[in-house]
Chains A and B, each alone.
Chain A
Amino acid sequence: MKRVVLESVLVAALGVLIAFGANALSPHGLKLERDYFPGDNRPLAALTNPATNTVGATQAQTHSAADHLREKGLNPVDSEKAEQLFRDPGFEQNQIIFIDARNDEHYQEGHIPGAFQLDRFHPENYLGEVLPACMGARQVVVYCNGGECEDSEFAALLLRDSAHIPAEKLLVYAGGIAEWKARGLPVETGARRSGQMSAPKK
């Protein structure tokens, strides 16, 4: 048995070395030193799926998320307000912009028309385009999938705390794309301003 334990220690040591090496070489690898959840204090035990972001967000979840955002000093907006901002003439002039905080796959599947993308786990790929747009806008609406999704919250914190975008012009749409779609509002697929719209569902 001693020999087996020793062998497992060898397996563990070699495995850990290989695992970190693979992470470092992988284009999707995590940066070990980065804090991906700054100021993290949300109770998570009862969440069922924050990673893939269950689309069927309930009203209770949205209200709870709004309270949580306020505690973090962020300004939540509901679907009605988000739609109002989308229909505002300032939206066409980039006075009001939307930022989608999800990854490429989700963004390409469907986003609010004209929304910029800011995958908060790889901000260096997006901030070059997003920051000037935020600077020029009077209101910035950040969203993700809604429900248990926290990416919009952390993207807004990144913009506020690291990119110094004034908190008063940052809004977080807690209902996210799930509520947006549920209201039958337009959704753009593919790249930003691709003009490809998915049919709204009523």
Chain B
Amino acid sequence: MTMALSARSLSVLDTATVVARWFLGALFIYMGLMKARDPVEFLKLVRQYEMVHQPFLLNAIAAALPWFEVFCGVLLLAGIAVRGAALMLIAMLIPFTLLVLKRALAIASAQSLAFCAVKFNCGCGTGEVLICRKLVENAGLTLLAAWLLAGCGRQWSARYSLLRDRRTAEVSPLPEVPVPASKQ
């Protein structure tokens, strides 16, 4: 009975993880496309963060980031290189969230606003947002990506891992094919 319950909850967890992967993938495709359809607007928004001043680097970030998000989204949706894509999302989400936080603090200070009353277009692909809501959203997305990184929910993946997992291969080796006896 306990075994059955445990197997069932595992299945529910795996299904939930697959749904989370699809959700995260679809969201990144949507947000990437929203930026990619108007790269000039995204360029202006990236410039506000004052993270780079060389025109080439600024242009490169604004030109590549939206399509890169779409690419990662497609990988998650299709279930290709899931953990690698999830790690890339975390690598984008954490620094970007810190930049958004820094800029929100600057706006709050310059305009004498309460922190959670700060509303601006952070370049996230969803227009103007309230900062506190954005931070909660990004924390949620980072947790979802971390959950995928942990290796749950491998079902419905076209190619879950790009690289061969030796450990998995050792645990579940291919069934041995009996060698037919040679004809006498």
Contact = CB atoms under 8 A, between A and B. Distances in A.
Interface of chain B, main secondary structure: helix
B34 interface: no
Given A33-B56, A45-B106, A51-B41, A11 B64 contact: no
A20 B66 CA distance: 10
Interface residues of B, number: 54
Contact of B67 (A6, A10, A23, A35): A23
A16 B64 contact: yes
Contact of B87 (A8, A22, A23, A29): A8
A10 B162 contact: yes
Contact of A30 (B39, B109, B161): B39
B71 A7 contact: no
A10 B55 contact: no
Contacts of A46: 106-107, 109-111
Contacts of B72: 11, 15
A121 B42 CA distance: 13
B110 A32 contact: no
Contacts of A28: 36-40
Given A11-B84, A16-B64, 10 more contacts: A3-B165, A5-B87, A10-B162, A20-B63, A20-B67, A28-B37, A33-B59, A34-B55, A45-B107, A50-B48
